[in-house]
Chains A and B, each alone.
Chain A
């Protein structure tokens, strides 16, 4: 409108016409942008729905009791996934037990000891890099570190690889949750004469516990589906094995080798396994989220 002031040739009528047209164009652009954004969101949701629908249709079709009661067998002989499921449970559980305390200590270090310190900044940076680093490289690293020098693939190597992956996840949530705690609370505890470690363990950790558990659950969900690092560490095993010094079966590796096989019954088992693992991962995620919401 200010343009009309500098163009005395324009009459008020023309001026209003231009303003109307401009307004219409602006509203049209706005409508197009909004529509495209909604479409984009729709596309994202369609992808999720499509993945879930595919899994449910193919997975439930292949799911039966023998999946849980039989071990993996050669094609055509009615095998199940029992050893893979148990192997995954063992490795994920141990990796969580190893990785969680380390991750919590690092997160505690960053939040309680390293505020503003140069070394702390470096640790935080490195931990964030590890958080997004390709998991296949963690597998190669553990292969070089444990598999080559100690004579072969083993469940332990898989556990170490998975625990390296879960550490930075726990670090991030622990630090984030601890830094939400108001400093007055810390000062109050210190003021009562408590040593710092008691303040952290009995007060800070306790007030941040639901957030930290959320992080642990998300971490478990993440490592439960990891395939690439296990290729080079626990390798997989077609027999029943709970011996951690031997190659160990796991659900993702079994899915990987079965899905790429030419045998129809193996592919169906892969779908059943895929459904199980996705359900577990999504349930863990939803549980973690509702826990965080309930805790606040």
Chain B
């Protein structure tokens, strides 16, 4: 703005100068307002969810967060089970997705021949474009039966016998449940983590890698000794980004998690997540009821959870953003 107004020619034509200033004022005003609107949106989301959940927070107090009761008849609600389900499915999804995503990123940056990189990369990114509800249908009609018939019996026979962790792999193989939900989530967040990893791997200065290769290092040693140490903060940021996505995923989880308000020790058991409870129970809650308020309170808790995770992710990825 400043430069434009200080030109001497502008002084000779005051009318035109005034017009330009007005245009500038309007345009820059619009841009600033739009920027402020984004802040307003986030603030609005926080305030509206909190206000909506306030009756439930008032009625149940702090124990709302860990109480495992959810009884619409007696109007007693607690977030314990769904918070547990949300965190467990998201963390399991990360455990499954991160090694695969790393493999994809390693392949795309170091192993695959250049002509293959783009098509494979695009294919993996298309996984991120598939709508959540499609994952839900695919998971419910295809993956869950496979889990029930093959994967879960196999896990019960092998890992179920082990002392300690065996308890995680016991119980009837329904197909749906915590593990299946985590698996679907893992596939959904895989492209986000893989894309972040690939991008940061590509930012490692070639001269570092070349020096390691020059010393006789193998491809894996270059990855382990040069690329990973150089990028580990950003890699952690990518993982957090995936975690943030997994926490709030709704439709896919709703299809396959089994939707039961209980905490089971086995990973094959049904459960629920904050998002799935809100999506399923919303239709059955009346306007102004305590149940609706409890659902909004759940939404507020989910927002706080994802905000913390996403903010951490962005903090870890800040070096990448500055480049």
Residues of A within 8 A of B (CB): 26-27, 29-30, 33-34, 36-41, 43-45, 47-48, 50-51, 54-55, 58, 102, 105-106, 108-110, 112-114, 119-120, 122-123, 125-130, 132-138, 140-141, 144-145, 148, 164, 167-168, 171, 190, 193-198, 200-201, 218, 221-222, 224-228, 231-232, 252, 255-256, 259-260, 270-271, 274, 277-278, 281-282, 285-286, 289
Task: Say yes or no: A285-B129 contact (C-beta < 8 A), given A126-B39, A259-B140.
Answer: yes
Interface residues on B, range: 35 or more
B241-294: which have CB < 8 Å to A? 241, 244-245, 247-251, 255, 275, 278-279, 282-283, 287
Expressed in whole angstroms, the Cα–Cα distance for A211 and B123 within the complex equals 20
Check A129–B131 contact: CB distance below 8 A: no
The answer to the question of B230 belonging to the interface, with a C-beta cut-off of 8 Å to chain A, is no
Residues of B with C-beta under 8 A to A193: 4, 7, 9-10
Check A109–B35 contact: CB distance below 8 A: yes
Expressed in whole angstroms, the Cα–Cα distance for A73 and B100 within the complex equals 43
Residues of B with C-beta under 8 A to A26: 218, 221
Residues of B with C-beta under 8 A to A226: 131-132
Segment touching A, from B71-79, B150-158, B168-176, B299-307: B299-307
Expressed in whole angstroms, the Cα–Cα distance for A226 and B252 within the complex equals 11
Check B137–A44 contact: CB distance below 8 A: no
Task: Write the chain A residue with the least CB distance to B122.
Answer: A289
Expressed in whole angstroms, the Cα–Cα distance for A168 and B314 within the complex equals 15
Task: Say yes or no: A39-B278 contact (C-beta < 8 A), given A130-B41, A144-B48, A282-B129.
Answer: no
Check A134–B306 contact: CB distance below 8 A: yes
B36-89: which have CB < 8 Å to A? 36-39, 41-42, 44-45, 48-49, 51-52
The 10 closest A-B pairs by CB, nearest first: A134-B248, A225-B131, A40-B103, A197-B27, A105-B34, A109-B31, A30-B218, A195-B20, A37-B103, A33-B220
The answer to the question of B203 belonging to the interface, with a C-beta cut-off of 8 Å to chain A, is no
Residues of B with C-beta under 8 A to A274: 133-134, 137
Quote the shortest CB–CB distance from A266 to chain B (angstroms): 12
Quote the shortest CB–CB distance from A179 to chain B (angstroms): 11
Quote the shortest CB–CB distance from A254 to chain B (angstroms): 10
Expressed in whole angstroms, the Cα–Cα distance for A57 and B259 within the complex equals 28
Other-chain residue from A196, A201, A228 in contact with B4 (beta carbon distance below 8 A): A196
Other-chain residue from A29, A34, A228, A281 in contact with B251 (beta carbon distance below 8 A): A228
Knowing that A41-B108, A122-B39 are A-B contacts, what are 8 other residue pairs whose CB atoms are under 8 Å apart, sorted by A's residue number?
Answer: A123-B38, A133-B45, A133-B248, A133-B306, A140-B48, A193-B4, A226-B132, A227-B251
Check B3–A190 contact: CB distance below 8 A: yes
Check A140–B299 contact: CB distance below 8 A: yes
The answer to the question of B167 belonging to the interface, with a C-beta cut-off of 8 Å to chain A, is no
Check A40–B127 contact: CB distance below 8 A: no
Other-chain residue from A44, A218, A227 in contact with B250 (beta carbon distance below 8 A): A227
Check A30–B34 contact: CB distance below 8 A: no
Task: Write the chain B residue with the least CB distance to A200.
Answer: B27
Check A109–B32 contact: CB distance below 8 A: yes
Expressed in whole angstroms, the Cα–Cα distance for A130 and B248 within the complex equals 12
Other-chain residue from B20, B129, B275 in contact with A228 (beta carbon distance below 8 A): B275
Residues of B with C-beta under 8 A to A227: 131-133, 250-251
Residues of B with C-beta under 8 A to A231: 279, 282-283
Check A128–B314 contact: CB distance below 8 A: yes
6 contacts between A and B (CB under 8 A): A29-B218, A55-B134, A119-B35, A134-B247, A136-B275, A200-B27
